[in-house]
Chain A
């Protein structure tokens, strides 16, 4: 069975600093990979996705992620964090099926 691991439960960064959220997946073939963001009281919003092609994926709100097959990773990055980025971030994978497997999430706090 596939699984998704987000090693960091909570990360705190200063506004303007760079950000990297880690995600590792467990699946034999190349899965479909997604990053979602969830703000309090809001639904999950897709930031970006990877399913084939260029391993560096650009998303909304200035986020990007890089798929590294050798490391089974799909880390999310942003060069300069804004206070409005404070939220919970979920990495998810699909493996040819329509159901998504989510990680446990990383809560991001931003210090002004």
Chain B
């Protein structure tokens, strides 16, 4: 078990471009989460999946953001028409296979996005 992995680790883009991040959860985990962390703040919840179903979305997830988890394995987070305010660390976490909300969420190292 290699833990949660995220790719890329760093991304620099120009305002208005689209970016896509990938998250590979721990293989037996059925839940996958996306959080965003800005400087000096704690992580903020964006969305989560149970298997391939997206069950919860934060109001932080504007219509420029879309997340998918095809086949309940890896997940992608796409940001369209990036803005400078999107600059942040995007964290992915996974948990399972239990069904309790207090199950530990295992976090990946994050993708740091810089929008110029």
Q: How many residues of A contact B (CB 8 A)?
A: 25
CB within 8 Å for A92 and B42 given contacts A41-B109, A43-B91, A99-B33? yes
B55-79 interface mask toward A, CB cutoff 8 Å, 1 = contact, 0 = none? 1101000000000000000000000
Interface size class of B (residues with CB under 8 A): 20 to 34
Known: A100-B45, A104-B42. A94 touches B4 (CB 8 A): no
* Chain B residues in the interface with A (C-beta under 8 A): 3-4, 31, 33, 35, 40-45, 48, 55-56, 58, 91, 93, 95, 100-102, 104-110
CA gap between A43 and B40 in the complex, in Å: 16
- A71 adjacent to chain B (CB < 8 Å): no
B102→A100 contact, CB < 8 A:
no
Residues of A82-108 whose CB lies within 8 A of B: 90, 92, 94, 96-105
**Closest partner residue, chain B, to A36 (CB atom):** B107
Chain A residues near B110 (CB-CB < 8 A): 43
Which residues of A line the B interface, CB within 8 A? 4, 32, 34, 36, 41-46, 49, 51, 90, 92, 94, 96-105
Question: Once A and B bind, how many residue pairs between them come within 8 Å at the CB atom?
Answer: 62
Contact (Cβ within 8 A) A90 B31: no
Which chain A residues lie closer than 8 Å to B33 at the CB level? Answer: 98-99
Contacting pair A44 B41 (CB below 8 A): no
Q: Once the chains are docked, how many angstroms separate the CA of A36 from the CA of B35?
A: 14
> B41 — which chain A residues lie within 8 A by C-beta?
104-105
Residues A97 and B109 in contact, CB atoms below 8 Å apart: no
Q: Which residue of B lies closest to A101 (CB)?
A: B45
Identify the closest chain B residue to A105 (Cβ). B42
* Contact (A97, B104) CB under 8 Å given A43-B109, A103-B42: no
Contacts of B93 in A (CB 8 A): 44
- B residues near A104, Cβ cutoff 8 Å: 40-42
